[in-house]
Amino acid sequence: MESGLSARDRVGVQDFLLLDNYTSEAAFIENLRRRYKENLIYTYIGSVLVSVNPYRELEIYSKQHMERYRGVNFYEISPHIYALADNSYRAVRTERKDQCILISGESGAGKTEASKKVLQYYTTMCPTRNNTQSIRERLLQSTPVLEAFGNAKTLRNDNSSRFGKYMDVQFDYKGAPIGGHILNYLLEKSRVVHQNHGERNFHIFYQLLESGDGALLKRLGLDRTNPQQYHYLVKGNCPRVSSISDKNSWKVVSKAFTVIGFNEEEVEELLKVVASVLHLGNTQFGEDEYGETHLTTEMPIKYVSEVSYIPVLSLTHKKIVAKGEEMIGPLSLEQAVSARDALAKAIYGRTFTWLVQKINQSLAFQVKCSSVIGLLDIYGFEVFQNNSFEQFCINYCNEKLQQLFIELTLKSEQEEYEAEGIGWETVEYFNNKIICDLVEEKFKGIIAILDEECLRPGDACDLTFLEKLEDRLGGHAHFVTHKLANGKIRKAVGREEFRLLHYAGEVNYNINGFLDKNNDLLYRNLKEVIMMMIVRRQSNFRFTLLSCGQAATQFKLSLAKLMDILMSKQPSYIRCIKPNDAKQPGRFEEVLVRHQVKYLGLMENLRVRRAGFAYRRSFEAFLQRYKPLCPDTWPNWQGKLSDGVSTLVKHLDYKAEEYKLGRSKIFIRFPKTLFLTEDALELKKPTIGEREKRLIMIQSWWRGVKGRRRAKRRRQAADTIRNLIKGFILRNEPRCPDNEYFLDHVRFSFLMTIKRNLPKSVLDRTWPRPPPSLTEVTHPHTTYTHIHVLTLERSQSSLEQKVVASGIFRGQKDNYPQSVPRLFVGTRLENEEINLKVRQTLGTDNKYGVVVTKYDRHGFRARPRQLLLMGSGVILVQESKIKQRIDYSSLLGISVSSLSDGFFILHVPPADSKQKGDLVLQCDHVIEAVTKLAVMADKIHSVNISQDSIKFAIARGKEGVIDFTYGAELRVVKTKNGHLAVVRIIQSHTKPINHLDKILSL
């Protein structure tokens, strides 16, 4: 939030809590409008995220944006759905408390897209286990499958979710997503057999007909020529949607089926069920001369029987049990049509339930879950021209969520105040418990009365249900009917309607169809038909046979379980708003937005949060931002944070009623106080900038001084080393300027050794052995020269190489101290160890050889090799074959890691057609080998030591990566991302060895 305070006049405020006129709905909507016009679709109400659908693609969802919000304080940068997702994830990791994100809004407001964005953030940014990549993909791919079977085109949304979904994303103790579980609520089964004007059936029907395989469609008895020839697909009289979208969607769904784990047989069985629903819809009935119902269509029923195993007789007759005996009785024409539609809805509903169970099996993981983040994507409050049973259940669900929302918001506010030691002031708010009780109360509520009317014997119907409501609920403040109303209200309520005064507004419900939809009855023989389908399909496709009847009560019970789940978690909220009905970008319809602001309870939530303090921040964050405004806190405060904040606000002349200091946070009551502070900071920034410039100049000057001192010390060290080397080489020569420094040091060291080891007794005749420079030379100088000339030459070469190694590796590579006492040898391979054919090919030009392991550039497979350093280049040998030759002139550089591993990479020009790419090698004598190579190739200054990873070139312009890390054990493995991971054990660092000790140790 702080990042956008200075721009508030242009784009409003990023947090509604900072609105001066926070009680004004007009000010609230104007702030939304101003931000929406600037494509700022996200705004906070404290920790609640308000999202306005932009109806276009915005460049704010890339991986770079995800990185920007990862691990950042919630209010540090501009509002975003990634900030809320990351905040919930960090709470799971740090507090070890399950979280849930509640996404609500009306159809077309962007709930499903918001849910996808949250899921993409977790599957992209969370840590990865070796075996969880498939789980990530399945979590993502569950969405298109459920959308195909549970979403449909409506007047308000081309991809409207016609079911409620709650998904648990499960994490292990390291924070990696390891599984998930989905609960589905109240699928709109009535859409299978009827759609409102201008709407479509579920997507899967059109996707199958538009792009299903021809042979498959033939087996299913379907025709892709025109979806309009199927009775269940023309009820909405919806213009045919572009087949391209359905074809593309089917490609996505088909791929998703494979990722989730469906085999071809399961998919075909699933599609047979979809086909059977279409064939059922095309099954027509007529009456013969005796008034008996019979089938008038042959082809559809043929496929219904063959594809779905549904017997023909079950559609025109019902089974009756009387006095313990079963009898078959005919159905009337109206009953047959009703039974057909009921069977179609039951089959599709149970198919959807099976589909969710199958996805859950795919998402299940056999590792104990440490914590979860729940995502609730559920229907928003709905008010149509004609509202029926479905809208009644949906709006009841929103009443329960609003009740939970207010309770948890008040609870979290009160808990924060108590935790900070600040007095809590009682907040007056509308408690919609009275409406929830009106709907769900036992024996008295609308659902109880509906169930009672469905189950009672006699001629129960929708009108008798309405009469019973009037009789039982007459006089309730939130219930009214045409009969109970008077004046203007009576004109607005139809004779077959009842009105509920919801927290979000008034809604009229038409009672026609309430009893049938609540009963959701199947005749006994139709239940047996479903059981027959279960048996015939065996293990390939199993329905879950749910009990029929009392749909509202089942929904009420499942909703109660959902409330228990949500209450057990720490909630976050995303409130989605649809800016216009035309789905046009940039268009903001104030009346429509005001309606949603009301039924989403946003003003209520804002009022609850602003009842106390508009702004609260940790002492550290507040002090860090505003410390330049006080001389005592700038540039750094050294004492307690609380004292620093107290000093700062006193300097800013905050009044006692404007703020309070808690235990770890400052609470500011009025936005004006914060804005004045922010304005003061803006005025101060030029001065701060000048100070920072001067500070930068001082820092630059001091860095120069330190650099010159460091360079001087290095030159002195190099001179010292050079003198010691010369002195060591000439230590047996007569004293001269070239060896006097070394001889003096040796004498001094010897005398200091004697001082530290004096004899304990006068009788002790032992004495430390003096160095050669302090003893009388007994052999002629010429003899010494002849005997030791070769040793001196080798020693000189070895010492020079050790000095080079010191310049390259000292303080840069972990295993360098262990290499110091070891003499660099002439070669690690004797002539006999090199293949005769190779020696004949190369001649006697071999300067140095060592055994290495070469790692393939693609699969990182380890291969044993010999590395030979010749006069003009590097040779890689496999037994009798010369595998690769790199001239010193074409060698670009050498890379090693800072760890104690033996890896080194030889870089060659990518355009060199003779080369196969860079060489990835491992050697037990890496410091010796790299030093000798650097000296021979004149590449001493081209040795790169990397801290974390090394990139290397692969043939045809590709690039590989080696990642180096510490670990509990030595490992070299290829990771899921295609990198080579080298894990080294942490070395115990010894005391640094000075240059003289290094030389003497040789």
Q: What residues are labeled active site?
A: 107-108, 112, 157, 160-161, 380, 382
Identify the H or E element spanning 286: strand 285-287
Quick one: which of 670, 575, 614, 597 has its CA closest to 48? 575
645 is written with which tokens?
């904040």
Neighbour-count burial for 497-509, b at 16+ CB within 10 Å, e otherwise: bbbbbbbbeebbb
**Phi, then psi, of 868 in degrees rounded to 5:** -115, 130
932 is written with which tokens?
């000798």
From residue 772, give the alpha-carbon distance in Å to each of 399, 730, 768: 98, 12, 12
CA 660 to chain centroid: 37
- CA pair distance 560, 887, nearest whole angstrom: 76
Rg (CA), the chain: 40
User: How open is the CA angle 234-236-238, to the nearest 5 degrees?
Assistant: 80
116 is written with which tokens?
């996808």
45 pairs with which residues across the strands?
48
- CA pair distance 971, 985, nearest whole angstrom: 9
- Sign of the C-alpha dihedral, residues 85, 88, 90, 92? negative
106: annotated binding-site residue?
yes
Grouping H, G, I as helix, E, B as strand and the rest as coil, residue 330 is strand
Verify cis geometry, omega within 30 degrees of 0, for the bond prior to 771.
no
Query: Residue type for 476, please?
Result: H
**Phi, then psi, of 165 in degrees rounded to 5:** -135, 130
DSSP codes joined into one string, 719-743? HHHHHHHHHHHTTTSPP-TTTHHHH
CA 593 to chain centroid: 30
132: annotated binding-site residue?
no
- Residue 639: count other Cβ atoms within 10 Å of its Cβ: 10
Contact (CB, 8 A) for 125 and 968? no
- Residue 91: count other Cβ atoms within 10 Å of its Cβ: 17
- CA pair distance 17, 614, nearest whole angstrom: 5
Which residues does 592 contact at the CB level (< 8 Å), separation at least 6? 578, 579, 580, 581
- CA pair distance 215, 271, nearest whole angstrom: 13
Q: How many helices (H) and strands (E) does the chain have?
A: 31, 31
Burial class of residue 849, CB neighbours in 10 A (0-12, 13-18, 19+): buried
Grouping H, G, I as helix, E, B as strand and the rest as coil, residue 295 is strand
153 is written with which tokens?
């085109």
Indicate the DSSP class of residue 908: -
107: annotated binding-site residue?
yes
776 is written with which tokens?
């009388």
108: annotated binding-site residue?
yes
Quick one: which of 815, 799, 919 has its CA closest to 868? 919
- Residue 658: count other Cβ atoms within 10 Å of its Cβ: 18
786 is written with which tokens?
């002849």
**Phi, then psi, of 171 in degrees rounded to 5:** -120, 150
105: annotated binding-site residue?
yes
Ranges assigned E (strand) in 503-624:
505-510, 570-577, 615-618
- CA pair distance 316, 292, nearest whole angstrom: 9
- Sign of the C-alpha dihedral, residues 491, 492, 496, 497? negative
10 is written with which tokens?
């242009």
Q: Which residues are annotated as part of the binding site? A: 105-112
Q: Which residues are annotated as part of the binding site for ATP? A: 105-112
